[in-house]
Structure 1
Amino acid sequence: MAGGHGADAAPGHLPVMYAQVLDALRVQGDGTYLDGTFGRGGHARGVLGQLGPGGRLLLMDKDPEAIAVAEREFAADPRVSIFRGSFAQLAHWDATQGGLDGVLLDLGVSSPQLDVAARGFSFGKDGPLDMRMDPDSGESAAQWLARADDREIADVLWRYGEERMSRKIARAIVARRDEQPLVRTAQLADLIASVMPRGKEKIHPATRSFQAIRIFINRELADLEAGLEAAYARLNAGGRLAVISFHSLEDRIVKQFFAQHSKAPPGDRRMPVEQSFTPTLRTLGGAEKADEAELAVNPRARSAVLRVAEKLPVQEAA
């Protein structure tokens, strides 16, 4: 993934697909909305600006730096509640028990995470090889690469990065760590570049590998699956779920989840009785992309895809 979640595109710029997201959520003044990926609050500010005194905005992020920004800017507003944790846990947060009128999940790594070398996400900026969105939880990328065998590393690079040279890169990582520990992003990026032919591709040779390791370290796809289920469970009838993804692995999960709840499964001729199906979601449009005006000021939005669904009332679904 070349860019990250658009919690903020860049200083002075609106977050990724800002106007489309606010339109998709259809914010009601007295509604309750959850931003599961606060980042630096770009989308949250837009939602809060449309809420009346009776509305509520629930903010989540597992990055402590993002939560610090949320606390500093929003904690004094009685309409706002803040929770540090993955959106996969949203159904366990007491504040969501009363139901939600809208949920936003803006996936992937945020621009502040990418741009700060010390977070270890970027192959373009040398820093500690960490990659954890929550630096207080789980293994860092360096710790995992120090213990995983070449088969496990290759599997991660292929599964989450679709890296065709996964086995060759994995063998090189294991051979290099026997000589010296891999603890810096530049070390890993240079090592991958040394065994990867650049060819005609414009992207850096380490792009797919860094994406794959980051997704694995942060359990991003498992969290997405759990987060979609949790958001679905907490949405009120008529509530909207808006998800921005940045690569095909994420988008496929979102698309399949929406289809599972909105479309009858294909018929099975071996079944003597046709299975009944009651849709509980309605998809709103297809995959939306950022427009040219946004791309001109925020190139990281180029790979962004927005999908939106609305929860159907029970009587409408029957």
Structure 2
Amino acid sequence: MSRTAILASCAKMPEGDGDDQAVPAALDDLGFTVRWAPWDDRDVDFADADVVVLRATWDYPDRRAEFLDWCESVPALYNPAAVARWNTDKSYLVELQNAGLLVVPTTLVEPGEQIQWPRASFVVKPSVGVGSRGAARFGADAAGAGEHLRTLHADGRTALVQPYQSSVDTQGEISLTYFGGIYSHAFTKAAMLGSDVDPSGLYLAERMSAAVPAPEVRALAEDAMDTACSLLGILRAELLYARADIVRGEDGHPLLLELELVEPTLGFRHADAGAPLRFASAVRQQLA
């Protein structure tokens, strides 16, 4: 029996960034008819598809309310709308932090609020955003930080303030990818705080390579998955995909930087050939 699968994208990148190139064929092998479509394309009946997978919906930060309304309208959305609502605002990091998870220390600064800046290098970024857009690093003197915060607040954005983890300069961050709650593969990403913007204008370009996570890194990623699912009231198997981004703290211990559950690049280009097959199998699992 043939099933229809739509990979949801955005108008500026209707077929994503190329990382998912092998996914349609893997789904086709399992009986899916696959197409890409921007999430806001009114000519596409997303509700009629057997499965709609959030893949490259990277223009939602400026239209989050509209995007979440659309998510609610799609019955067979993966990951589901409730997950999208929780995970598209990085304030979820504070929830994970309060639950005892080892997270890069995160402080929320709502519009109109002030903050006493950290005494060491730190990062300020919007709580709703993708691809490091709007993220900026500041030194211990905090020069320019106030202006950046005012700019974010002027747009009605809540800001996140986090101490900068210097290990990113030498080790980057490591991303662990899960399908159906089960570990698949990992890859490293170099620091992206800069001006190397993708031609689409949607995100900063990333430099990636395959990686094997250390045991303590993988353990933290597993803890992040379990904690998030507990907060969401779901089983890990109910997440079609997840990506845990982890850095080393100043003491060398791993810290969660982000847990991406909505539209992350999943690193297929830096994984073994079986990764797209595992992903396709996880799609079938969601429908079982």
- TM-score of the two chains, using structure 2 as the length reference: 0.31
More strand by share: 2
For the pair shown, the structure with the greater C-alpha radius of gyration is 1
More helix by share: 1
